[in-house]
Amino acid sequence: MHWDFAAILIFLGVAVPLLGRRRIRQLMQLPATTKEQRLALYASTMAFQWLASAIIFWRATLHGFTASQLSLGFPRLCITVALTVGLTTLILLNQVVGLKQLASLPAASQGLVPQLAQKLFPHDGAERLAFFALVVTVAVCEEFIYRGFIQHLFQNLAGGSPYVAVVGSAAFFALAHLYQGRRGLISTFTIGVLFSAATAISLSLVPSIIAHFAADFVAGTLAPRYLRRDAALDLVEPARSPSEAASNNTMYIVI
């Protein structure tokens, strides 16, 4: 393996998860976030993702990776369209059902997601425009990094095995979302497998980019509304056990 590819894998597998957890811990220590803080968070995330993608694209093409090998196209158009529609529909249904289940719980049992929603997601029109740009950035850049570059790299290292490539890509994708905790790790690994499988079948990033965008956009649009609870209801509704709450929390954030 080339030294720069090894450095990229170490950075994505070690530094990104640790930095993400640190950033979320700092965020959760704040009683609330201001508009300026949310916009700054969106801007810094977009800058980092585009920079990381540009560096990875540079090093990958320098070592002979082609656009088709990085799944930058749609050679199997009909399969790509079918997978895009099916995968996006599945993701949207899961997000909506998960949000409804989470919102049905008392606030004390909802876990990390509602707190992240209030501090991360947009509160007004200007923030929604910035959030839209963020979601587009995350969908394009993360899918290129994990489904384009890492998946093809693992497939090369495994002698052409698409199964190793799918699992390896999904594992690194899950690690990047380590800040969401154990259940978030499982959720993002599962969705990573689906996205990677769609890429392996279609030879295109289009299905996973569209589905990724849909997941994050729906979370950012609907989560604040679904999770805005009446405090009076929480006073009379008994809290469920943490294990029971976790078993009902199927909504995930893949930003």
Q: What is the pTM of this model?
A: 0.86
The backbone torsions φ and ψ at residue 44, rounded to the nearest 5 degrees and listed phi first, read -65, -35
CB atoms within 10 A of CB 99: 22
Residue 254 lies in a domain: no
**How many Cα atoms occupy the beta-carbon half-sphere of 19 within 13 Å?**
10
| Domain assignment of residue 253, yes or no | no
Using DSSP's 3-state secondary structure scheme, residue 101 falls into helix
Total tally of structural domains belonging to the chain: 1
| Residue pLDDT, tens place only, 42-90 | 999 999 999 999 999 999 999 999 999 999 999 999 999 999 999 999 9
The pLDDT > 70 percentage for the chain reads: 84
Place of tokens 């679904």: 226
Residue 21 lies in a domain: yes
Structural domain includes residue 255:
no
Range of the domain at 92: 3-230+239-248
Express each pLDDT in 210-247 by its tens digit.
Answer: 999 999 998 888 777 766 653 333 433 333 333 333 33
Residue 191 domain flag: yes
DSSP one-letter string for 167-185: HHHHHHHHHHTGGGHHHHH
**Domain assignment present for 170:** yes
